[in-house]
Structure formats: C-alpha cells, structure tokens
Structure 1
Amino acid sequence: MARLPDILRTKSNDRHLYAVGRIRALETRLLDKDIVRELVEAPTLRDVYNDLRDTEYGEEVVATEETLDFERLLSLETRQMLDLIDSISPDPELTDLIIYQFDVQNIKMLLKARLAGAPAPDSLYTFGRFPLDDLRALVQGESVNYMPRWLADAVSKVEREWKNTPNLRIIDAILDGALAMAQLEGAQNAHRPVLITYFQLMIDTQNVNAFTRIRISERSKNQFEQFFVPGGELSLAFFKDTWDTTIRELGRIFENTSFHNMVVKSLEEYQTEGTLTMLEVEKKRLLLELLKPSQYITFGPEPILAYLITKLYEIELIRLIMVAKKNGLPVEDLRKRVMVYYV
C-alpha cells in the first residue's frame, strides 16, 4: 500500500507537512468533553449508540446498531484509523512502536492459553504488524526470523520465568516491559526528545503502578524487581531504598516527582473503597497531558504519534463506557473511571 501520494514521496519536509495537515483535521473530530459526559450519563447502551450517531463513529453506528455489537463497531473504527495512519505516516518505524501493542496483547493471550491452561482466545487482534499464524508459531517455540529480537527474547524469558513463578502477572509484566523498552529505544534511535520523554514517563508510571500495588498487597521486594522496567527517570535503587516506608507514608516518597498525585489519590481511594482505580486514571492523565504540546509542533512525527495514541485511548474509553452500560454499572462509578477525559 502506498503510504503517501507520489508527489510527496521524495521531499521529507513536504511529506511531514502533508501528514501533519491531515492530522490537524482529524484532531477536530476527536470526542470533546461534553460528548464524553453525555456518553457517561446515557441511561442505556442504546442511548450511547444514539449519542455517537453524529460523531466520527456514525458510519460504524449504522453498521452495528441493529445488534449493538460494539466490539465490531470499535474494531471497524480502529481498522479505518490505522489504515489512514499507514497511508500518511512518513515514519512507519515510529508509528509501529505504538501498533506493536496489538501484537503484544495477542502473544499474552496465546501464552496464557498454552502455559496456564487458560481458555484459548476466541479471537485475536488483527491490527498488529505480524500475521497471527506467525505469532502462534513464535509462542509454540518455533523460530520466526523476521520478528524483532526484543519480541522473541520476551517470549523466551516468559518460558524461563514461568518455571519458577507460574503466575499470569509475570506474563503481562515481561511482555509489557519488553514493549516499553523497545518503544523507548526506537524513540532514542530516531532522536525525538518528545517521544523519548513520553516513553520514559510510560515506563515510570508502569513502575509506580507496580510498586504501589505490590506494597499494598505486602508482597516482597524481590517480586517488585521482577516487574521493574528499566529506562525511566526513577531507578530501581529509588524504589528499593524506600521499601521499608509504611503504606501511609508512600505519598511522601513521590513528593518531588510527577507521580505524587497518582500515589496519594490511589492510597486515599484504597483506604476508603479498597480499590485502586485511580492508579490507571492518573497514569492516563499524566500521559495525555504530556502529549498536549504536540499540537504546537508543525513538523515531524510527534503530532502523528500523539493523535494515534489519543485516538486509541478514545476507543478504549468508548469500550469502557459501553461495557459499563451493558452491565449496568452506576454512573458515578463510571464517571470516576473516565474522569481523566474531563481534565
């Protein structure tokens, strides 16, 4: 598939200007906060469909409204968006860093089915960069030569670690960590400071999330080391040196970091409700806030990746809302889970 019109193929500057121009038009079609509020407060799943009718999701609504098959709706929107990104991106090696998440999710499901006897997945994501048969072969221990080394190494590491720690969380931790480090390395190789900072922040939030959950559940320091991902601003020594701090004082550890609110709000929620929803909410808030300056960049891959990431968050948000409506989750509980989009 041609990624750009031929007239732009030879001039790097023109290629980026064309792509960023298209992205600016797409950004105006992202759901605004008023629409998100309407979706959250909609009484039923059918009402959510009706509220989406006049948005960018209108065609997909029409195609799926008879059965309210929202997974198909979101799949159609994702496929259309990724095809467009492929057609305009002058830097596929960078956009691929984000799209690899679908391959990683597929590998997680396949590994859990093989190692833990979990039910074989009924369906896998078709949005990744690698054929599903090749992913299945990789998980079965076959050599797939063209796969990125980091992905094959991660699968091998899961195999080794599983023998000592047969825990589903280990599969998630190893694959998520491998993806995060590959994303950071890709941004560093491209010398894109904004993207480097974004992926470093993603690693840090992942580590803070794991640290907080492990401390609250009173698991060991060694278990945290299994989950720790290098490459962020916060080193492993930072976490190990503060391990003996009481749960109540955890917020103080992060007082001079970007993660203070993430930890404090999560601890407050845990003490009052016994849940840790705010860890994910604050993680998304930090990452989305970091992307906002990309709207002022007129040249380069940053606006394209910022749109891609934001759009995938939006699709994830709609899925969360639709699942909540299908299952009758109270509006107040749903509002807390998506409050990052009100900021």
Structure 2
Amino acid sequence: MYDNEFGSLNVTIRVLENDLLNQAIYDRMLAADSFRDAVSILRETTYRDKVEKVLENHNYDDMITEELVETYQKLFSITPDPKLVELASLRYTYQNLKVMIKEWIAETNFSEMYFDIGRFDLTELRQAVQLGKSEVLSQAYLNTINDAKTDYSEFKNVHQVEVLIDRHYFQHFKQLATEIGHPSIIEMIDMQIDFKNISTLIRAKYQNRTKNFLRSVLSDAGSFEIEKLIQLGVGDARNLIQSLAETKYKDVLNESLITAGIGISSIKFDYYTDNALMRKMQDAKLQAFGPLPMLAYIYAKETEVRNLRLVLSAKENQINIEETKGRMRMNYVS
C-alpha cells in the first residue's frame, strides 16, 4: 500500500530537499564578518522572506519556529497517511500537553509557550485537558492527560507529572510506529528510544541516581529490558561501558568514550547518536517508494533548524568558528 501511495509524494519530497541548506551556506555564514552579514546570506535560501524581520529585531528563533510550522503544515496537507507526520511531530504535541497541564494546575494562561505544530488543533488539546475527554483525540492522548491530572491531584508534584508525561510520550511514539507497521520505521523509533535511554542512563550514573529514579525515567518502549539497564545504572561504571559495548550501538558508544576508555561523555554520546540517526535517514532517502523519504526529510529539516540556530547564535555572540563547527550535527545534504 505504502509503495503505491507514496510514489508521487516522494517526487515532491525530492523537490523540497533541494531547498535544504547545504554545508556551503553554513560555511559562508560562519565566515561572514558580522551577524547581519550572516543573516543576509539567507536571502539566497528558502528563508529569504524572513530575513528583513530578523535584521530588524535579531529574533531568529521566531524565524526558525515559523519555518518549522510551515514545513509541518505542508506535509500534513500532502501526506497520504497523517500518522506519519503525527509521529514526527509528536514531541511538540507532548510539549504542549506539559504546558497545558501546568495551565490547569496554576489556572493561568501560558499560551505563549505553545508550539503550533502537530496533528490536532491547540484548542482541541486545551479542551481535552480541561474536560478530560475528546471526540477527536485518540485514547493515547487522553490517557496521558488523565493520568497526569490524577498524579498531580494525588502528589502535587509538577516535576513528577512531567516525567510521567515523558513516559507516555515514548509509549505513544512506539504505538504510532507499530500502527503504521513499516519495519524500518519501527526500527528507527526503537533506535531513538534506545539512544534516549542510554543517554539518560549515562547522566544518571554520574549523578549516583537510585534504582527508583531510573525506573521512573527510563522507557520500556525500546528494545532494551529496563531492569537490565537499571542494574547497569547502579553498578560499576566499567561494567556499564562493557555491557553497552556488546550491543548493536557499540560504534556510537566507542566514539563517546573519554578518560582512556573508562568513562562516557553524555554530550559526545548525544552528538554521535544524532549523527548515527542522520546516516540512517540518508539511507532512507534513497528509496523511491514508501514513507521513509518523507520521514528522512523531516529529520533533515529538524537538523537544519538546529544547526541554523547554532550558527546564528555563534555569530551574534562572536563564538569561535571551529568550536561552532564542532557542535553542528551532520548535514543531510553536502
């Protein structure tokens, strides 16, 4: 089904890919004499209509957010299966749910913190949070909302509610991938959840976190057995490294080692996992049929705005060029 439905869409995706920022653009921006000169280079790109406003107010975050909103709106309008774009945009919806739950708790309006990205209208989400029900949202959203409200009513702990919502997010993330049913998509989602679990485990290890803490923050939606991860998290650091080095993610782990191989940098691990996912997406874009090229394009766009924000921040704050390049994620296009 997907091969037939996505054939023509993937032609459109190829056209959209031509507008992605290439490395030459980033290099020219970094080499520019000033923030203003760097921004002006974007007149040659898909950001051209937003340049003048950024030159006036230096608010490039609004430009980047607007670009993302437009990207997701376009993809929702052309996809044969909205669940695919819902999958890619789910983290924004769950971020909005966190904000809306805080509104419900504080009886205050925090709408300036919303991201207008996701399958469902913000008004529908707010109504569901207030009423605990919806005729539009799936049960996964309603379970998240009602479990969060129940948890806060019982324990009055906002941070605990945020952790609960994060766990629901990863469960929903995996559920959507399973409903879509494409083996490569399920593999990609498992990979993202596993990377998040390992990153959390590394940070928790160096903070001497307890088993109960790990049990509350790790997700069982990936490919690892959570209890095994928890045992690694409270055990010897060398055993943690050795055990992770025996998994399918050993290459990423080895790139992240520090202190003569007896420690792991969570910052380096996050960097190399992002690049490992990008390599996966670069392979996916080569497929002529099926849904993978669209998901690869979305990941590419998300990486683009991340790198663009980093470059513009560096120019605004006069950060060293080589330091900035070292923090940029692998680009989708050369």
Normalising by the smaller structure, the TM-score range is: 0.7 to 0.9
Q: Does the C-alpha gap of structure 1 residues 218 and 85 become closer, same or farther in structure 2, counting only changes over 3 Å? A: same
Runs of 4+ in structure 1 off by over 6 angstroms are 116-119
Deviations 1:52-110 (A, max 9, x none): 22122222224543333312322332233223313321122222211232221211223
Q: Does the C-alpha gap of structure 1 residues 309 and 255 become closer, same or farther in structure 2, counting only changes over 3 Å? A: same
SS at match of 1:65: helix
Q: Does the C-alpha gap of structure 1 residues 41 and 258 become closer, same or farther in structure 2, counting only changes over 3 Å? A: farther
Deviations 1:20-77 (A, max 9, x none): 1111122232222333334445554323312322122222224543333312322332
The alpha-carbon deviation at position 195 of structure 1 amounts to 0.5
AA paired with 1:22?
T
Percent identity for Structure 1 against Structure 2: 22
Structure 2 counterpart of 1:4: none
- For structure 1, the residue ranges without an aligned partner over 5 or more in a row are 1-10
Deviations 1:119-157 (A, max 9, x none): 935341112222323323333454233222112212333
Structure 2 counterpart of 1:193: 183
For normalisation by structure 2, the TM-score amounts to 0.84
Structure 1 counterpart of 2:15: 25
- For structure 2, the residue ranges without an aligned partner over 5 or more in a row are none
* 1:38-117 aligned within 5 A: 38-42=28-32, 44-112=34-102, 115=105
Q: Does structure 1 residue 317 correspond to structure 2 residue 307?
A: yes
Structure 1 counterpart of 2:126: 136
- Among residues 208, 211, 220, which one is paired with 1:218 in the alignment? 208
Q: Does the C-alpha gap of structure 1 residues 14 and 97 become closer, same or farther in structure 2, counting only changes over 3 Å? A: same
Contact 1:177 1:229 in 2 (8 A): yes
Q: Matches of 2:28 and 2:161 in 1, distance apart?
A: 37
Deviations 1:258-296 (A, max 9, x none): 433544555528x9xx97422321231122122122122
* 1:134-283 aligned within 5 A: 134-140=124-130, 142-162=132-152, 163-164=154-155, 166=157, 168=159, 170-263=160-253, 266=256, 268=258, 276-283=266-273
Q: Matches of 2:166 and 2:313 in 1, distance apart?
A: 24
**C-alpha RMSD of matched pairs (Å):** 3.3
For normalisation by structure 1, the TM-score amounts to 0.82
SS at match of 1:219: coil
Contact 2:202 2:233 in 1 (8 A): no
Contact 1:282 1:340 in 2 (8 A): no
Q: Matches of 1:38 and 1:244 in 2, distance apart?
A: 47
Contact 1:20 1:303 in 2 (8 A): yes
Contact 1:33 1:341 in 2 (8 A): yes
SS at match of 1:257: coil
AA paired with 2:199?
N
The alpha-carbon deviation at position 113 of structure 1 amounts to 5.2
Deviations 1:160-188 (A, max 9, x none): 445548363x4444333323332322222
Aligned length: 331
AA paired with 1:68?
H
Q: Does the C-alpha gap of structure 1 residues 177 and 267 become closer, same or farther in structure 2, counting only changes over 3 Å? A: farther
Contact 1:16 1:301 in 2 (8 A): yes
SS at match of 1:205: helix
